[in-house]
Each structure stands twice: as C-alpha cells, then as structure tokens.
Structure 1
Amino acid sequence: MAIDELRFDWAFLQWAVMAVVGVYTWLIGRQSASQKELLELRTRITTLEAQVKQVPTQSQITELISKLSRAEAQMHGMQEQMAATYRRTENIEAYLLQKK
C-alpha cells in the first residue's frame, strides 16, 4: 500500500466530527437536565422543610385537646345555669300572671 493509495475523505471527517459533537451535546444536555432536576428537588425540599416547621408538635396538639375539653365543660356548665335561670324566670312569670 503506497501513500498515493491513501486518500483523505472529507465527507468521512465531517461525519466523524458531527458524531463527536452530537455525543458531546447529548452528554452536556443530560448533565444540564440533571442539574435542573437537582435544583427543583432542592427547592421542593426547602419548601417542605418550611411547611413542616409550622406543623404543631404532638404535645401542642395534646394541650389543645385538653383546652378544648375544658372549654366544652365550661360551656356545658353555663348551659345548665342558663336553663335553671330560664325555669326560674318562667316560674316568676307564671306567678305574676296568676296574681294579676
């Protein structure tokens, strides 16, 4: 094989360079997509952490339940007192209407 038999094919060189550029672009695109996904995940985690900080603890919920129970008991007591007052008022009204 002599040097004259070797020929330089520009079309093959162009195809090889385009293939290398295509592979490089594909790799960079994957890396860029991974970075975008990572940034999105970090943003979501930060948002989730901020929301979790605002969630009440178990002890706070227990305290709230006990306060609600006490308020319910007080309201029940007030309801009984109001019913007794209503009955007394009706008795007074009935007495006054009979005396008239």
Structure 2
Amino acid sequence: WAVVSVLAFYTWLIGRQSASQKELLELRTRITTLEAQVKQVPTQSQITELIAKLSRTEAQMQGMQDQIAATYRRAENIESYLLNKK
C-alpha cells in the first residue's frame, strides 16, 4: 500500500513539473511575441513628428483648396464676360 502511495505521489509530482514546464514554455513564447510586437510600435517622438507632418499637409491642402476656388471664380467671370460680350 505504501509503495502504491509513493508511486502515485511521484507520478503526480512528475506530471505537475511537466505541466509547469509546458506553462513556462507557453509564457516564454508569449513574451517573445509581445517583444516582437512592441519593437514595431512607433515611439512618442515618431508620433509627434507624424502629427506635425499631418498638420503641415492639412495647411497645404487648405491653401490649394483656396487657390482652386479662386481659379474657379476667375474662370466663371471669364465665361460670364465672354457669354455677355455678344
């Protein structure tokens, strides 16, 4: 009876260590995956630079929109003049 108890305890202990090793391997894999993902995340300075570039681009596009609107108004004035010249 004692031998069976010792054998059962030993089997339980080995199984527990095996599960712990498996859990440890899974955790290492998850950590490695997270580290790889974190390396791809932009830094705060990169985000700040991107925001600044977007602001400049937005200002440039607004300027272009104003120029296009002015050109459109001029074209309408020329068209109106030419149609009324007859």
Aligned residue for 1:27, secondary structure, equals helix
Q: Comparing both structures, which one devotes a greater share of its residues to helix? A: 2
* RMSD, aligned CA: 0.6
Q: Which runs of 5+ in 1 are unaligned?
A: 1-14
Structure 2 length as normaliser, TM-score?
0.98
- TM-score, with normalisation over the residues of structure 1? 0.84
- 1:17, distance to aligned residue in structure 2 (A): 1.5
Equivalent runs, 1:56-67 vs 2, <5 Å: 56-67=42-53
Larger radius of gyration: 1
Q: Structure 2: 5+ residue runs without aligned partners?
A: none
Which amino acid is 1:49 matched to? Answer: E
What is the aligned counterpart of 1:40 among 7, 20, 26?
Answer: 26
What's the counterpart of residue 58 of structure 2? Answer: 72
Identity %: 85
The answer to whether 1:86 aligns with 2:69 is no
Shift of 1:20: 1.0
Partner of 1:97: 83
